[in-house]
Amino acid sequence: MKVIIAPGNGCTNILRSNWYGQLHSDLKASGIESICETFPDPNEAKRSIWLPHIESLGANEETILVGHSSGAQAALRYAESHKLKAVILVAATYTDLGDAGERASGYYPDADGKNEYKFSEMRANCGIWHQFHSDDDPFIPLAEAEQIRHGLGLNDDEYHMLPGRSHFFEPFSELLETIKSIT
């Protein structure tokens, strides 16, 4: 079993960004294989580049895919067509929030009804899901996270609303504990 960490966009050195490097170190110290490397196209995080990259990292039915922000969108879309052990979403959004750059990444449903999320395929390809969100995320309103939760059909044990965590820029023990509970 291994963990792949898919970062948010803008992370040109993933090991030094947000909580990724700390989680990677904590996983290795716990004897859990972890892949934490900078993704190609780090600023635009295009679906057409990130999904093949996740596949090139060897993601499979024994992989826990942890995605933060844009990485959460990549994890959702990857799970539409690939089997995974588990997916953990951190600060996931449902829409592009009206941002042209986010829209260009290719993850989000279009206004004309194209590119809809395939939640039933996601659930069929991955049996274990967890989602973390904060009530004070300055970028992603709580209602956006709730749409993802509803689409995936997550219960209270799978959906973790942690007050006062902003956009999860800092390490948080609940993530490591969740990963360990899966392994």
* Angle (CA) 174 65 122, round 5°: 110
Q: Which helix (H) or strand (E) holds 107?
A: none
> Residue 133 forms beta bridges with which residues?
161
- Show the tokens assigned to 49: 């580049």
Is 69 assigned a catalytic role? Answer: yes
Which DSSP letter does residue 139 get? S
Is 136 assigned a catalytic role? Answer: no
Is 130 assigned a catalytic role? Answer: no
- Residue of 24, 130, 137, 160 with catalytic role: 137
- At 96 the three-state DSSP class reads coil
**Interatomic CA distance for residues 45 and 42, integer angstroms:** 5
Which DSSP letter does residue 154 get? -
Contact between 131 and 152 under an 8 Å Cβ cutoff? The reply is: yes
- Residue of 68, 82, 133, 167 with catalytic role: 167
Contact between 37 and 62 under an 8 Å Cβ cutoff? The reply is: no
- Residue of 17, 34, 69, 105 with catalytic role: 69
Which DSSP letter does residue 95 get? S
> Which active-site residues does the annotation give?
69, 137, 167
